[in-house]
Amino acid sequence: MRAMMARLIAFFLLLTFAASPIAAQIDPSARGLAVQAQALAIGRDARIATVIADSRGDAVYIDPAQYALNMRSALVWAKQLSGGRFSIGPTFGKSGDRTDQMMARMPQALATRAGLLYIIAGVNDLAQNYPTATTSGATAAGNIIAMAEMGRLAGIKVILEAEVGANGLTAAQVSQMNELNIRLADYVEGTPNVYLNDARSAVMNPTAGATTVTFKPGFSLDGTHEVSRGSYYHALTLLPLINQIVPPRSVLTRTGTELPGNGRWQLLANPIFATATGGTLSGTATGTVPSGWTAFGSAGTTATFGTQADPEGVGNNVTVTCQWVAAGDSCRLFQTVGSANWLPGDIVQAVTQIQITAASPCLAATRLELVTVGTLNGSATGFNYMDGYTATTTGSLGADQPYTATLMTRPFTVPAYTAKSYMAAYVHLEGSCAGTASFVIRQMPIRRRLSAPNG
């Protein structure tokens, strides 16, 4: 009955869209895609997101296989800052694409199980003066609206990003950018389940001038793409919208019973640090480490570890004060999974929550990493899944204020190894210059899942 109702509603929306003024503005091929969207109007969950975008959406993942979530994406930051309200599945960003070129990937986005579609687009239409210098804004808006309608007809909630622009746009291109944003704002105002986020005041310099746009200092390396710090402040504008659209969910461990011996649903020993002492110090690390865990500081780094009671009574927390002396320095906490606790075919996901209690302008990233290595097709083969990757070179600036982030690797299926080598989970606290920051790591489980809905 619910599926039938969804199809009836989608059919009504399709008729409404076909007769609307918006439909008259877009390419005829988009109407064909809208028919496909209507056919996909099934039950969807906004806690699974996909992306249609240019290079700024391509930056959600750092790798073509889409194993490593990248901190140069406001959407990734919003996921972490929201307490893990949603996961990011396959994304469809492509460097250099205009909005008309993105349209061809909409069927792939619609075919995912995503219930949240994030569209960040337009700057390439403006920079390329497509199709002309005086129509690029209206054209980009029409294409973005068409894609939003396809998502809406398929039962997806849609978030559009207002175009922030790029350093070096001409006065005429800035004018077209303004038209693009006004058209998007007008469209969203009367359209259910489509939302507009406007991060311009958060990431762009408000005193750049009347006919130019530039990023705030330290927010972009090249004048078009945000570094982690720019994406963090961008995400702060996106977060209230995410919290409005996506309901909270439970992703953290709430009990001391989630241990490998109790059904192998959680694979690490001492995931909530209930046994606060007895761990191992490595490299330059000093202090106290929970049982089963290893603390590490890279050469030259002062890495001081300790434990404290969890404020909610769920075991203990690990405290870390990390003083970096150069770009690329790091403090780490990690554990290797017992060999009997993981098997080929397991669907696994690492989770942690980290509080930055004393920030530093030199913090590059807090990164969660899950690694598996074994023999596959006769060769040693490893896979690295990450949430929170960023470059740690000079200039790769992260957030410079305290925050709490929930990190989750993308669920994946352990390959059919003929011989297992190891599985391990790591938290990396990484710097991009000389500085000091303090952290609290609340817990760090590896969950075994029954499915990978965002895979």
Q: For residue 244, what are the CA distances in angstroms to 31, 82, 95, 149, 391?
A: 30, 11, 30, 20, 31
pLDDT of the residue at 208: 83
Task: Note down pLDDT in tens along the chain; length 455 residues.
Answer: 344 334 433 443 343 444 444 444 455 455 555 545 554 555 798 999 999 999 999 999 999 999 999 999 999 999 999 999 999 999 999 999 999 999 999 999 999 989 999 999 999 999 999 999 999 999 999 999 999 999 999 999 999 999 999 999 999 999 999 999 999 999 999 999 999 999 999 999 998 888 999 999 999 989 999 999 999 999 999 999 999 999 999 999 988 899 999 999 999 999 999 999 999 999 999 999 999 999 999 999 999 999 999 999 999 999 999 999 999 999 999 999 999 999 999 999 999 999 999 999 999 989 999 999 999 999 999 999 999 999 888 778 899 999 999 999 999 999 999 999 999 999 999 999 999 999 999 999 999 999 887 65
CB 262 within 8 A of CB 248: no
Half-sphere exposure of 374 (CA within 13 A, CB side): 18
Tell me the C-alpha distance between 150 and 37, whole Å.
Answer: 5
pLDDT of the residue at 167: 96
Tell me the C-alpha distance between 122 and 106, whole Å.
Answer: 16
Q: Where are the beta strands (DSSP E) in 54-103?
A: 68-70, 87-88, 92-93
Tell me the C-alpha distance between 373 and 203, whole Å.
Answer: 40
Q: Which amino acid belongs to residue 303? A: A
pLDDT of the residue at 34: 55
